[in-house]
Amino acid sequence: MTILKVGIVGCGEVTQIIHLPALRQLSEQFQITALCDVSPTVLDGVSAVVPLAAKYGDYRQLVADANVDVVLVANPHAYHTSVALAALEAGKHVFVEKPMSITFSEADALQEAEARTGKTVQIGYMRRYAGAFVDAVERIKADRDNIRFARVQDFIGQNRIIIDDTSRVIRGNDIPAQSIVEHQRLTDASMVEAIGTNDPILSRAYGLLLGLSSHDISAMRELLGMPKSVLHAAVRQGGAYITATFDYGHFVCEFATGVDQLARFDAYLEVYSEKSVTRIDYDTPYVRNIPARLSITEPEGPAGVRQVVSFPSRLDSFVVEWHAFHNHVTRGTKPKTTIADARQDLEIFESIMQHLKAGSAGELSNVAS
Ligand X SMILES: NC(=O)c1ccc[n+]([C@@H]2O[C@H](COP(=O)([O-])OP(=O)(O)OC[C@H]3O[C@@H](n4cnc5c(N)ncnc54)[C@H](O)[C@@H]3O)[C@@H](O)[C@H]2O)c1
Question: Can you give the binding site for ligand X, defined by CB under 6 A?
Answer: 9-15, 36-39, 42, 59, 74-77, 79, 97-98, 124, 126, 172, 175, 179, 183, 211, 285
Three-state secondary structure call for residue 204: helix
Q: What is the nearest approach in angstroms of ligand X to the Cβ of residue 126?
A: 5
> Of the two residues 4 and 130, which places its CB atom closer to ligand X in the complex?
130
Q: What is the nearest approach in angstroms of ligand X to the Cβ of residue 38?
A: 4
In 3D space, the residue among 9, 44, 72, 74 whose CA is nearest the CA of residue 174 turns out to be 44
> Of the two residues 163 and 252, which places its CB atom closer to ligand X in the complex?
163
Nearest residue to ligand X, scored by beta-carbon proximity: 12
Do residues 201 and 366 touch, judged by C-beta distance below 8 A?
no
Q: What is the nearest approach in angstroms of ligand X to the Cβ of residue 87?
A: 12
Stated length of the chain:
369
DSSP state of 332: T
DSSP state of 334: P
Q: What is the nearest approach in angstroms of ligand X to the Cβ of residue 348?
A: 17
Q: How far, in Å, CA of 62 to CA of 245, rounded?
A: 43
Q: What is the nearest approach in angstroms of ligand X to the Cβ of residue 315?
A: 16
> Of the two residues 32 and 364, which places its CB atom closer to ligand X in the complex?
32
Q: Which amino acid is at 74?
A: A
Q: How far, in Å, CA of 211 to CA of 308, rounded?
A: 32
In 3D space, the residue among 225, 189, 195 whose CA is nearest the CA of residue 81 turns out to be 189
Q: How far apart are the first and last CA of the chain?
A: 55
Q: What is the nearest approach in angstroms of ligand X to the Cβ of residue 16?
A: 8
CB atoms inside a 10 Å sphere around CB 344: 14
Q: How far, in Å, CA of 60 to CA of 18, rounded?
A: 24
> Of the two residues 283 and 350, which places its CB atom closer to ligand X in the complex?
283
Q: What is the nearest approach in angstroms of ligand X to the Cβ of residue 215?
A: 7
> Of the two residues 36 and 53, which places its CB atom closer to ligand X in the complex?
36
CB atoms inside a 10 Å sphere around CB 169: 17
> Of the two residues 33 and 273, which places its CB atom closer to ligand X in the complex?
33
Question: C-alpha distances in angstroms, 113 versus 177, 251, 344?
Answer: 31, 38, 18
> Of the two residues 37 and 216, which places its CB atom closer to ligand X in the complex?
37
